[in-house]
Structure 1
Amino acid sequence: MKNKRRNRLFQAFGAAGVSILLAIAIWQSGMLTAWENKVWDTQSMMLASPSPRSEDITIVLVDQQSLEWAQKNMGISWPWPRELYGAILDTINRHQARGIGFDVLFTESSSFGVSDDTALGTAIAKSKNFAAGSIFPGNIHGKLSTWPDDIPLPSLATTATLVKKTDNTPSYNFLTMPIPEVAQNAAVLCNVHHDPDQDGIYRSLHPLVFAVGIPLPSLGLGLYLAAHPDTEVSLLNQHLSVGDAVIPMNISGQALVRFRGPPGIYTRISAATLIKDEMLYRDGEHTDPAINRQLRKKYVLFGFSAPGLFDLRPTPVGAIFSGVEINATFLDNLLNNDFISPLSQNLKILVLSFSTILLGLLLAYFSSPIYMTIIALFFLLIPPALSFFLFFIGFRFEILPFECSVGGTIILSFLISYMQEGRKRRFIKHSFAHYLSPYVIEQLIEDPDRLQLGGDRKELTIFFSDLEGFTSISENLEPDQLIELLNDYLSAMTDIILEEEGTIDKYEGDAIIAFWNAPLETPDHAVRAVSAALRCQKRLKELRPLFLKQCGHEMHMRIGINSGSAVVGNLGSTNRFDYSMLGDAVNLAARLEGANKQFDSYTMISESTYKLLNNTFFCRELANLTVVGKKIPIRVYEPFLPSEYQKKKKTLETFSKALQNFYIGNFESAVIQFNTIVDEDPSAIKYLNKCKVLQENPPPQWEGVWALTSK
C-alpha cells in the first residue's frame, strides 16, 4: 500500500513538475503571446458588446460628412485652416464643457499664415481646461532634446516628489513640440505616441511617459487633469494613482484598456455640426439646444474619423477604431476606475503550479479512464472560466500557459496510466490465466480496480471436488497413463467451472478447489457454483465410458459446496504466489465434500448456499449434521437438474417424509419409509442402517442430528 501511494505521488509530481517547467519556459519565451492576444480579443468581443459606458464623454469628429460639408458650403478643402478648430473650440467652451482634449498634432505652422495660428491660440487661451494631444516623443527622431524654456513645465513635472520615473515607465530622449500658440496656452500637454502590440492591434496605452525627463500624460489622462487641475497624481511601481482612481500597469508601463463595445458607443457630434452652430451663434440666430445637452459638463474629445485622415486603428473590438475613441475609452476607464489589472507574475506561477499539481494528484489517484477524462475536461475548462470571471472583476488572466501546463499534465498522466495499464494487463494475464476464464480476465483488464489484491474479506461460494477411489485407480496405471487421465478429467471439469465464471484456486491431485465472487463481483455466485457442480456431474457421466476404457474403473466425483465469508487474495512470496482463500467457510466446504461418503451422495451443499439459490434448482434436504471439529449442526442439501428431479420426484418425496420421522426420533416409521426406496436411492440405505442402529441403541436425548466422526 505504501509503495502504491509512493508511486502515485511520484506520478503526480513528476507529470505536474515537467508540465509546469515546460509551460513556464514556453510562456517566458513569448511563443504564446500572439495566441494569447487572440484569446484576449475574443474575450473582449464577447464581454464588451456593449457594456455600460460613461455618459459624460462626447466625441467631436472630423468625419467624411464634415469634410464634404466644408468643401460644399465653405469652399474649404483639407487641411482646414486652424480658425475652424478655433470655432469648434469656441462652441465647446460656450456650452461649458467640463474639459476639452484635442487629438491633433499642431507641430507645424499653419499654411494659412501666422494669423491662423494666432486665432487658434486665442481660442485655446479662453479655455482653462484644454488638453493638447500634440507632443510626439521619440528616441531617434525629434526636434528637441530638452524642454523649451518658453514653455511652462507641465504640472506633473512640478510635483516631482509624487511622479518619479520608474523602471517600467517608458522614457524618450527627444520630443517634437506643438507650435507655441498651442503649447503656451494649453492647460495640459499630452503624449500622442502609442505603439500597438506586435500584431498591430491596440489593446493598451501608456498612461504616462517621460520625454527628456518630463512626465507627459496620455490624452485621456491629460483631459481629466485639465478638468480637475488639483487632482493629486502619484506613481508607485506599476500603479499610477489619479485622485481616488488607480491605473494598473504592466511591466512595460502600459494600461490595458477595458473596451466598452464596438466603435460608436460614445455620443458623437460631427465637426460640421459645431461649426454650423457657431456660425448661427455669431449671426445672432437660434442654435440647436440638443448640442448643449451633448456638451454641457461633458468631457469632450476632438479627433478624426474620416478614412482619408489616417487616424483609424485596429482594436480587439473593431478593426476600424478612431484614435480619439481609444483615448475616450481610456478616460471612461479612469472615470469608472475599472481598468483591467494584470496579475503579478509570481501569483500566476503560484496558481499555475498549484492547479497543475492538484490535477496531477487527481489523475494519479483516479486512474479509471472515465474519471481521468472527466477530471481532464474539468481542468481544461477551469482556465477559460476563471479568465472570464476575473475579467468581470477587473483582472487579465492568461489562459494558454495554464492550458499548456494542464494539457501537458493530462498527456503525461494518460501516457503513464497507459504504460501502467499495459503492465497491469500483463500482470493480470500472467497471474490469472491459469485459474480464471478469458471472459473474467478481460473484465479485470477493462476495470483493474475491481481486483483487490493483498487480501480482502468477501462472501464466497466455495467448491471442493474429489474423485471417488482415485487412489486405487492411480495404483493400476502407468505414470503417463495417469497424467493423461487426470489432464482429460481436469480439463473437462475446469472448462465448465470457468464457463460459469468461477476461479480455480488449485488442483491437488484429482481434487479441484474453486470459488465464486472473487476477484470479480458475481451477484449470483451460489447459483453459478451449483450450476457448475451439476454440469460437472453430467459431463463426467458422459465421459465415464471413455474413462472406463482408460483406467478400467468407473469414475465418480464427490462435490461439496458452501457459501460464507472468507479471506481471499494473493498468498505467497513476492516472487511466487497463488490467488487463494482462507477461513471456516472454506473448511466447511471441504468437510461437505467428504460427508458425501456417509450418504452415498455425490453433490452436497450447505444451507447457506441453498438459501442463496432462491429455488433456482430443485434440492432435497439430505441431513442435519455436525462435521468433525464443529458442534453446531448444519442442514445440507442435494441439488438436482430439473430433468433428473422429475425422474426421482416420488422417491425424493418419500425420502423427505422419512427424513422428518428420522428428525423427530420416529425410527420405526422412518425404517418403513426408507425401506420402500432403497432400490432407487443409495442415501435411503444409509438412513435405513442408521435407523436400525439407533433403534438398537436409543440415544438418551435425540435432536435429529447426524454427527460425523470422520472427514
Structure 2
Amino acid sequence: MKKVLKSLFGINAATVTTGTILLGLAAYLAGIPFLDLMELKTVDLRFVSRGDLEPGHEIILAVVDDKSIEKEGKWPWPRARLADLVDTLSESGAKVIGFDIGFWEPDENNTLKTIRRIEDKIKALGIENTDLADFLHESEAVADNDRLLADAIGRSQAGVVLGYFFHIIGENRENVDEEKIRQELKLISKARYHMVRYTSKEAQHSSVYTALMPRSNIRLISSATPDAGYFNMFPDRDGVIRWTPMVIECQGKLFAPLSFQIVRAFMGGPPLSVKIADYGIEQLQVGRLTVPVAEDGSLMINYRGKAGTFPHISVSDILEQKVPSKTFKDKIVIVGATATGIYDLRVTPFSSVYPGLEIHANVVDNMLHQNFLHRPNWAGLFDMAAIILLGASLGIILAKARPFTGIFTSVALFIFYVWLCRYLFISRGAVLNLTYPCLVLIAVYVNMTIFKYVTEERQKKWIRNAFSYYLSPSVVTDIVKEPDRLKLGGAKKELSVLFSDIRGFTTISEGLTPEELVHFMNDYLTTMTDVLFDYKALLDKYIGDAIMAVFGAPVPNENHAQCACRAALGMLDALEDVRMRWKSQKIPHIDIGIGINTGQMVVGNMGSKRRFDYTVMGDSVNLASRLEGTNKIYGTGIIISEFTLAHVSPLFLCRELDLVRVKGKSDTVRIYELMGEADVAQDIVDLAGRFTQGLEEYRRQEWDRAETHFSNALKLSPDDRPSQCYYDRCRTLKKNPPGNDWDGVYTMTGK
C-alpha cells in the first residue's frame, strides 16, 4: 500500500512541506472563524505586551462617578445641573465639551408641570392678569431644565458636541414610522460628512455600516448646537471592542462618530470629508488630519492603556468649584458616567471593565496625534509571504536536521516571527497576521516529524533487513542511528580490508557431492562470518569460497586495523575447530590464506539508483587481494602490508616477509606475516628473530650466512614455510648471483 501511495503521490519531504503551506494559504484566504478569533486574541496580547502609553494632554474625562451620585442624587440628574456643568467648563476655558450621554426624552420636572397646569387653568377661567402671566412665564423658564441646558449649550464659549446612536439594520424594529425617521434625521442633518467623493460609479455601491434610523436628542437640545456624533460601537465576536465605525450610512447619507466630531470641533470646525473607492472607504479627512480606515470604514483603536489612562475628574468636584479653572483651559472634556450600575461596561484588550467614554477618548487621541493601528496595503502579501517562507524554511531544515536542531529551529522561527509582529505593531502600528504563519510553522513541524518518523522507520527496517546479513547486530544498530552514511555515492576514507580464500578449493569441491559441498560451504562461511562480526567487520561479499570484509565502515572505527588483525587470527583459530568437526564427516583438511591492507579507499553505496551495494574500491583494496594470494608463495596463513603494521605494532608479533612490487605498479611494499598477539610463545618469538636475521643477510647478498640463519629457523620449526622458501632462494641465488644492482624486490605476477 505504501508503495502504491508513493507511486501515485510521490510523497517526500518537499511534498509534505508544500502541501502544508498550500493548506495554510487556503485557510488564510478562506478565513477560518476560529482561527480568525485566535488572531484577534493575539492582537490583545500585543497590546498587553506593549503596556500603557502616555496619552496626549488635550483630553480630560468629566465623570459621573459614585462620588457624584452620592452628592447630587441618583441618576439621571435634573438637566439644570448639566447646564451648570456646561457653564462651569465654558468659563474655565474648555475648548470642546463632548457628551457621551443622550437626552432622548424631556426632563421630568414636577415644578414645571405644576406651573403649566396653573397657566392652563387661568386660560380656562378667562382670567387676564399681566403681572401673574409674566410671573408664571419667568417661573416656567427657570423650571424648564431642558431649556436651561439648551441655553447653556447655546451661550457656551466651548464647542459642544452631543451624542446620539443609530438603530442598525437587522435589529428587530417593527412598524417603523417613516415620518419618525425623517424627523430624527432632520435633527442630526448637520452631523453628516460634508464632502463625499466617489472615485467611480461603482464606488457608490460600496458596503459600509448601514443604519435603520437614528435616535437623536430632543429637538430643544439638538437645535442648540450643530455638532453631534453617534457613539455606536460594535464588538467583535468575542465581545471585545477593537474597532470603531467611522462611517454609518442612513437613508443614503453618511454620518460621523462622536469622536470625529469632537476632533473637528477642536480643530475649529473644518469640513469632514470621505473618499470612497470601488473596494470601499479609501480615506477620511478633517482639515489636515487623515484617518486610515478599513474598507468598511472602521478604525482599529490604538488603546493607550488600561482604564484610567486618561485623567478622570468627578463632575461633583467640577460643580463645587474644587478643580482649578486652568485645568480645563483649551482642553477637550468628554462627559460620561462611570458610577456603578449606570455606565456602559465595555470589554477591551486591556480590561473586561472599561468605561465607554474612555474608548472615545482613545479614538480622539489617535486622530489628534496620528497614532493609528492599521493593516497596511501590503499586509496581505506579507502574511502570505510569511506563510510560504517560514513553512518552506522550516521544511528544508527539518528534512536534513537532527531532532534537536529541528526543535531549536522551529522554536527560533516561531519566536522570531512573534517578535517581528510585535515590533511592527509597537513601532509602526502595523497589524500583521500572527496566527496563520505560526500555525503553518507548527503544522510543518508536526507533519514533517510524522513523515520523518514513518520514513525513517521504513528506512531502519530496510537497513536492518539489508545489512543484517553482512554486519553484526551492534553495527547495524549504529547504522540505523545514522542512515546518511548509506547514501548513494562514495567517500574517500582510510579503512582496512581483509580477503580470505580456501587453498585448493577446486580439488576439494570435486571430491564432494553437491549436497556435501553446500553443507561444507555453509558451515565454513557461517563460522568465518561469525568471527568477522565479532570484530565489527562489514561483510562486503562472498566470492565463491573467498570472503571480502571491510573494517572501519560504515560505522567509523579508529582501531579498524587492529580489529582486522584480530579477526584474521580468530578465523585461523575457528578453522582449527571446524577441522575437528569435519574430520568425522570425512571432509578433507583445508587451509586458508588471509591478506590485510590498510589505506585510503572509496567507500559507499555504488551502483545504480535501483540496485547498489555498499562496498569499497581502490588500489588499497586490490593490494589486500594480492596479499591474500601471496600466502601461497610463502606458505603463510596471514600476510599484512607495512601500512597495516603501522597501525598495529607493537600489539602483534609480525615478521617481515619481503619487499614486493605489485604487478603494474612501480612502488614497492613491505609485507609481513601476522604470527599472533604480542604475547605469543617464546619459541615463536625466537623463530621470528632467526628469520629476520636471515632476511637481513639475504638482502646484503650474504647467501651463506643467510642460509645458516634460515637453517637454524627450520631447526626451531621444521614446518616453517617462509624459512624454507628463503633457504631455497639462497641456494639458487648463490649459484646465480643477481648482481650488484639487485634491490631485493620480488615482483608479484598475479593476484
Do Structure 1 and Structure 2 share a fold, with TM-score over 0.5? yes
Write the letter of the residue equivalent to 1:138: I
Change (3 A) 1:191 1:482: same
- Residues 329-348 of structure 1 correspond to what in structure 2 (within 5 A)? 329-343=362-376, 346-347=380-381
- Residues 237-248 of structure 1 correspond to what in structure 2 (within 5 A)? 237-248=281-292
The 8 Å contact of residues 129 and 187 in structure 1, kept in 2 or not, is answered as no
The 8 Å contact of residues 195 and 274 in structure 2, kept in 1 or not, is answered as no
1:400 and 2:397 aligned: no
By how many angstroms is 1:328 displaced? 1.0
- Secondary structure of the residue aligned to 1:628 is coil
By how many angstroms is 1:129 displaced? 2.0
By how many angstroms is 1:491 displaced? 0.9
TM-score (normalised: structure 2) = 0.84
Change (3 A) 1:67 1:573: closer
- Secondary structure of the residue aligned to 2:181 is coil
User: Using the alignment, how far apart are the partners of 2:735 and 2:686 within structure 1?
Assistant: 29
User: Using the alignment, how far apart are the partners of 2:303 and 2:151 within structure 1?
Assistant: 35
1:544 and 2:541 aligned: no
Write the letter of the residue equivalent to 1:270: S
State the match for 2:708 in structure 1.
672
Does 554-563 or 101-110 show the bigger shift? 554-563
State the match for 1:690 in structure 2.
729
State the match for 1:19 in structure 2.
23
By how many angstroms is 1:509 displaced? 2.3
By how many angstroms is 1:133 displaced? 1.8
State the match for 2:691 in structure 1.
655
Deviations 1:318-339 (CA, angstroms, capped at 9, x unpaired): 1111100111111222233222
> Which one of 148, 151, 158 corresponds to residue 119 of structure 1?
148
> Which one of 581, 589, 593 corresponds to residue 554 of structure 1?
589
Deviations 1:1-22 (CA, angstroms, capped at 9, x unpaired): xx9xx97575256423553355
- Secondary structure of the residue aligned to 2:563 is helix
State the match for 2:90 in structure 1.
93
- Secondary structure of the residue aligned to 2:335 is strand
Change (3 A) 1:635 1:239: farther
User: Using the alignment, how far apart are the partners of 1:232 and 1:648 within structure 2?
Assistant: 115
User: Using the alignment, how far apart are the partners of 1:438 and 1:12 within structure 2?
Assistant: 33
By how many angstroms is 1:89 displaced? 1.9
User: Using the alignment, how far apart are the partners of 1:80 and 1:299 within structure 2?
Assistant: 23
Does 119-128 or 404-413 show the bigger shift? 404-413
User: Using the alignment, how far apart are the partners of 1:663 and 1:253 within structure 2?
Assistant: 104
State the match for 1:483 in structure 2.
518
Write the letter of the residue equivalent to 1:339: F
The 8 Å contact of residues 359 and 409 in structure 1, kept in 2 or not, is answered as no
User: Using the alignment, how far apart are the partners of 1:299 and 1:685 within structure 2?
Assistant: 119
- Residues 462-541 of structure 1 correspond to what in structure 2 (within 5 A)? 462-541=497-576
User: Using the alignment, how far apart are the partners of 1:224 and 1:371 within structure 2?
Assistant: 54
- Secondary structure of the residue aligned to 2:593 is strand
User: Using the alignment, how far apart are the partners of 1:662 and 1:182 within structure 2?
Assistant: 132
Question: How many aligned residue pairs are there?
Answer: 689
Does 599-608 or 153-162 show the bigger shift? 153-162
1:79 and 2:83 aligned: no
TM-score (normalised: structure 1) = 0.89
State the match for 1:580 in structure 2.
615
Write the letter of the residue equivalent to 2:448: S
Change (3 A) 1:652 1:151: same
The 8 Å contact of residues 23 and 405 in structure 1, kept in 2 or not, is answered as no
User: Using the alignment, how far apart are the partners of 2:737 and 2:543 within structure 1?
Assistant: 41
User: Using the alignment, how far apart are the partners of 1:522 and 1:54 within structure 2?
Assistant: 72
By how many angstroms is 1:225 displaced? 0.9
The 8 Å contact of residues 17 and 444 in structure 2, kept in 1 or not, is answered as no
- Secondary structure of the residue aligned to 2:673 is strand
- Secondary structure of the residue aligned to 1:309 is coil
> Which one of 45, 48, 51 corresponds to residue 48 of structure 2?
45
User: Using the alignment, how far apart are the partners of 2:710 and 2:273 within structure 1?
Assistant: 113
Write the letter of the residue equivalent to 1:519: P
Write the letter of the residue equivalent to 2:166: F
> Which one of 417, 420, 423 corresponds to residue 386 of structure 1?
420
State the match for 1:65 in structure 2.
67
By how many angstroms is 1:267 displaced? 1.1
The 8 Å contact of residues 189 and 216 in structure 1, kept in 2 or not, is answered as no
By how many angstroms is 1:269 displaced? 0.6
Write the letter of the residue equivalent to 1:486: M
Does 12-21 or 679-688 show the bigger shift? 12-21
State the match for 1:274 in structure 2.
318
User: Using the alignment, how far apart are the partners of 1:449 and 1:106 within structure 2?
Assistant: 79
- Residues 349-368 of structure 1 correspond to what in structure 2 (within 5 A)? 350-355=384-389, 357-359=391-393, 361-362=395-396, 365-366=399-400, 368=402
- Secondary structure of the residue aligned to 1:431 is helix
The 8 Å contact of residues 103 and 217 in structure 2, kept in 1 or not, is answered as yes
User: Using the alignment, how far apart are the partners of 1:677 and 1:510 within structure 2?
Assistant: 33
State the match for 1:704 in structure 2.
744
Does 492-501 or 447-456 show the bigger shift? 447-456
User: Using the alignment, how far apart are the partners of 2:467 and 2:328 within structure 1?
Assistant: 87
User: Using the alignment, how far apart are the partners of 1:248 and 1:659 within structure 2?
Assistant: 99
The 8 Å contact of residues 651 and 678 in structure 2, kept in 1 or not, is answered as no
Over alpha carbons, which structure has the higher Rg? 2
Change (3 A) 1:95 1:629: same
The 8 Å contact of residues 162 and 233 in structure 1, kept in 2 or not, is answered as no
5+ residue gaps in structure 2?
Answer: 1-6, 113-142, 276-280
> Which one of 143, 147, 172 corresponds to residue 211 of structure 2?
172
User: Using the alignment, how far apart are the partners of 2:405 and 2:87 within structure 1?
Assistant: 70
Change (3 A) 1:623 1:51: farther
Change (3 A) 1:429 1:552: closer
By how many angstroms is 1:106 displaced? 1.2
Deviations 1:479-526 (CA, angstroms, capped at 9, x unpaired): 322222222221111112123222112112221111123333333322
Write the letter of the residue equivalent to 1:53: P
- Secondary structure of the residue aligned to 1:197 is coil
Change (3 A) 1:129 1:173: same
Change (3 A) 1:168 1:343: farther
User: Using the alignment, how far apart are the partners of 1:299 and 1:613 within structure 2?
Assistant: 94
User: Using the alignment, how far apart are the partners of 2:642 and 2:409 within structure 1?
Assistant: 47
State the match for 1:642 in structure 2.
678
The 8 Å contact of residues 547 and 555 in structure 1, kept in 2 or not, is answered as no
Deviations 1:369-418 (CA, angstroms, capped at 9, x unpaired): 44443444344445433332232121223333233333333333333333
User: Using the alignment, how far apart are the partners of 2:750 and 2:195 within structure 1?
Assistant: 110
State the match for 2:360 in structure 1.
327
5+ residue gaps in structure 1?
Answer: 72-76, 278-286
Does 165-174 or 463-472 show the bigger shift? 165-174
Compute the RMSD of aligned alpha carbons.
3.0
Change (3 A) 1:471 1:497: same
User: Using the alignment, how far apart are the partners of 1:145 and 1:630 within structure 2?
Assistant: 110
